[in-house]
């Protein structure tokens, strides 16, 4: 239907801020429940988003994307209309007025033997002019963490900021700091080069 | 739509939270301290510097700056450290799959979601989602949201005293076709005021949310309409310093899309970052 205006310019389209008014459009029922909360395999992933003054950011929206417990990359549809059984690997969570988010998910497995398992995270917020990518690593496999190419390129403090902490109840905790001394390391992939 | 979870913030908070307010006596929220002239001068000086840099051999920018002071809310919300250059791992080379079970076929028409017809200029916005090599992004989710023709969002914290249209939510979703195409029928949104500075108005825009075939391609942006007189005044649009890059967010009026005695047509193609490795693989067939 667009034959009349073929695209020849293949420079990536610029991003823009998600703005303040995504709240009635992006969230959907069970958006943050990759598995039903309270189910046997469910792991709660929580955290808080902070700005450069250490204030909580009450208008951010996050998405996670991850393999299942066996490290399998999900190829199933149904993230927007969950049936409670299919693991699609995708979830979305708007933070609450305290800047806190919560997902119900599973511990991702390593996608290849020996790889450090992690959850891929993308962050949008009012005041944030383009999305930010990062990773939430599981804390357990210290050998794999030590061998991880990204983590080994970081200093000790930065490395710690990409590894979730495990609660006694099995939950995962991961805070995001958009700016400042404790700033979360954010990622730039080769495809993002201009 | 589910009840939104983050309703306690709106643009009016900005007049209080912006550190720039420290430079001046703090006034009431409706007495924004800074003038458009102040903002425009900042925008202009950044632009002048950018043009000099490019003339001096600097590579043109293609994305917005995260650190763009005229957009006051960005001051405390942009990372100050360089992003870590990282090769994507397995999971990042794939993207969530969405299918026809996820969304209704009528969700791409924002003019038929209520009993009555929404008020305003009926339009169609259509185009293709492509990767950096021009290949179509097939069967992927596209989400949009927008103000109504009076510049008002349904969002309950939108305090702009413009009428709500009971027949318009301003929310749409669709899946791209095999050629990467998408199409929304909607109402042309109005410009709306916000609290970045005194008498600040956003140019009319539609928010777009896009997935590629790799998660690294995930993006959210805003589509604008050609010839908007507010472009020069808007810090969000101007946060993209390069004019060619800004132009990539502006739809083209296309009379071939316009329908006789029915609607006005706009074309807007979207190019995601990089090539998608997995595009040859078949998605779940549903
Ligand atoms: Fe908007």
- pLDDT digits 0-9 by tens, A64-111: 999 999 999 999 999 999 999 999 999 999 999 999 999 999 999 999
Mean pLDDT throughout B91-117?
95
Flag if A191 and B216 touch (Cβ within 8 Å): yes
B78 annotated active-site: no
Flag if A97 and B8 touch (Cβ within 8 Å): yes
Residue from A25, A136, A157, A193 to probe the interface with B (highest B Cβ count within 10 Å) = A25
- Answer whether residue B66 shows pLDDT above 90: yes
Chain centre to alpha carbon of residue A34: 13
Q: Which residues contact A182 (CB under 8 A, 6 or more apart)?
A: A161
Report how far residue B122's alpha carbon sits from residue B110's, in angstroms, rounded to the nearest whole number: 10
B266 annotated active-site: no
Q: Mark which residues 105-164 of B lie under 8 Å from A by CB.
A: 126-128, 130, 132-134, 141, 143-145, 147, 153-158
Q: A31-71 pLDDT, tens per residue?
A: 999 999 999 999 999 999 999 999 999 999 999 999 999 99
Q: How many CB pairs under 8 A join A and B?
A: 316
Report how far residue B176's alpha carbon sits from residue B271's, in angstroms, rounded to the nearest whole number: 13
Report how far residue A73's alpha carbon sits from residue B281's, in angstroms, rounded to the nearest whole number: 14
Report how far residue B251's alpha carbon sits from residue B241's, in angstroms, rounded to the nearest whole number: 18
Partner A contacted by B104 (CB < 8 A): no
Can you tell me the ipTM of this complex?
A: 0.96
Report chain A residues whose CB lies below 8 A from the CB of B11.
Answer: 20, 126
B153 annotated active-site: yes
Q: What is the CA radius of gyration of chain B?
A: 20
Q: Identify which has the larger pLDDT, B24 or B45.
A: B45
pTM: 0.91
Mean pLDDT throughout B110-120?
96
């Amino acid at each position: 239907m667009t034959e009349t205006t073929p695209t020849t310019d293949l420079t990536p389209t610029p991003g823009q801020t998600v703005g303040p008014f995504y709240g009635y459009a992006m969230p959907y029922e069970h958006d943050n429940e990759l598995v039903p909360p309270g189910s046997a395999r469910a792991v709660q992933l929580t955290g808080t988003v902070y700005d450069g003054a250490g204030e909580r950011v009450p208008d951010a929206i996050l998405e996670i994307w991850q393999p299942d417990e066996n490290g399998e990359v999900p190829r199933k549809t149904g993230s927007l209309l969950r049936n409670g059984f299919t693991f699609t690997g995708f979830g979305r969570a708007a933070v609450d007025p305290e800047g806190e988010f919560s997902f119900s998910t599973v511990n991702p497995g390593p996608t290849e033997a020996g790889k450090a398992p992690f959850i891929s995270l993308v962050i949008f917020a009012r005041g944030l002019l383009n999305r930010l990518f990062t990773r939430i690593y599981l804390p357990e496999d210290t050998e794999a963490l030590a061998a991880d190419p990204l983590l080994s390129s970081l200093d000790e403090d930065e490395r710690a900021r990409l590894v979730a902490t495990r609660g006694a109840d099995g939950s995962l905790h991961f805070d995001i700091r958009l700016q400042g001394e404790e700033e979360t390391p954010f990622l730039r992939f080769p495809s993002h080069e201009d | 739509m589910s009840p939104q979870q983050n309703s306690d913030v709106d643009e009016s908070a900005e007049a209080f939270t912006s550190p720039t307010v420290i430079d001046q006596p703090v006034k009431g929220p409706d007495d924004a301290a800074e003038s458009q002239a102040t903002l425009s001068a900042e925008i202009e000086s950044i632009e002048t510097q950018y043009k000099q840099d490019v003339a001096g051999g600097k590579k043109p920018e293609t994305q917005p700056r995260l650190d763009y002071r005229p957009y006051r809310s960005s001051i405390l919300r942009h990372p100050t450290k360089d992003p870590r250059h990282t090769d994507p791992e397995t999971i990042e080379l794939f993207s969530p799959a969405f299918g026809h079970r996820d969304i209704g076929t009528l969700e791409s028409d924002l003019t038929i979601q209520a009993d009555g017809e929404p008020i305003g200029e009926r339009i169609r916005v259509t185009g293709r989602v492509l990767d950096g090599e021009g290949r179509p992004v097939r069967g992927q989710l596209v989400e949009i949201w927008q103000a109504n023709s009076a510049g008002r969002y349904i969002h309950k914290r939108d305090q702009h005293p413009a009428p709500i249209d009971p027949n318009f939510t301003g929310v749409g979703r669709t899946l791209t076709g095999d050629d990467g195409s998408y199409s929304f029928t909607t109402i042309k949104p109005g410009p709306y005021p916000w609290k970045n500075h005194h008498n600040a108005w956003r140019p009319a825009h539609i928010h777009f949310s896009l997935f590629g075939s790799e998660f690294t391609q995930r993006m959210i942006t805003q589509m604008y309409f050609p010839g908007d007189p507010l472009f020069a005044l808007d810090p969000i649009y101007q946060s993209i310093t390069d004019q060619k890059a800004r132009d990539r967010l502006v739809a083209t009026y296309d009379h071939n899309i316009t329908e006789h005695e029915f609607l006005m047509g706009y074309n807007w193609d979207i190019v995601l970052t990089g090539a998608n490795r997995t595009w040859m693989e078949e998605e779940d067939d549903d």
